[in-house]
Amino acid sequence: MNKIDSTKLTIYTANFCVWCRLAKKFLKANKVEFEEKNIDLKNDYREQLLSKAGKMVVPVIEVGSEVVIGFDRKKLEKIMGISND
């Protein structure tokens, strides 16, 4: 079990984004539930992404009050308390 279980996680993605697919695969492999917001499907998601990241970049992963820009596995492991030792 990881400490993310009670924290909301949102991932902003785009259809073209390989890193987004890798991030989602990582989250699923660690049994982390998440809400996906694909910016190609809804303009509101683009606006939300810009307000969180300050620029148009994907993936952006929001874990509680933390925002991770890009797929940074080590940072996500630390924030979520995942140990892959």
The answer to whether position 85 is within a domain reads no
pLDDT digits (tens, 9 = 90+) for 50-76: 999 999 999 999 998 899 999 999 999
pTM above 0.85, yes or no: yes
- Where in the sequence is the domain holding 40, given as residue range(s)? 8-80
Assign residue 62 the CATH number of its domain: 3.40.30.10
The answer to whether position 73 is within a domain reads yes
The structural domain count of the chain equals 1
Burial of 28 (0-12, 13-18, 19+ CB in 10 A): exposed
User: Which of 13, 22, 8 shows the shortest CA–CA distance to 46?
Assistant: 13
**Residue 85: predicted pLDDT:** 57
Burial of 59 (0-12, 13-18, 19+ CB in 10 A): buried
The answer to whether position 2 is within a domain reads no
The answer to whether position 1 is within a domain reads no
pLDDT digits (tens, 9 = 90+) for 38-52: 999 999 999 999 999
Tell me the C-alpha distance between 40 and 12, whole Å. Answer: 10
The answer to whether position 67 is within a domain reads yes
Which of the four pLDDT bands, split at 50, 70 and 90, describes residue 7? low
- Strand, helix or coil at 58? coil
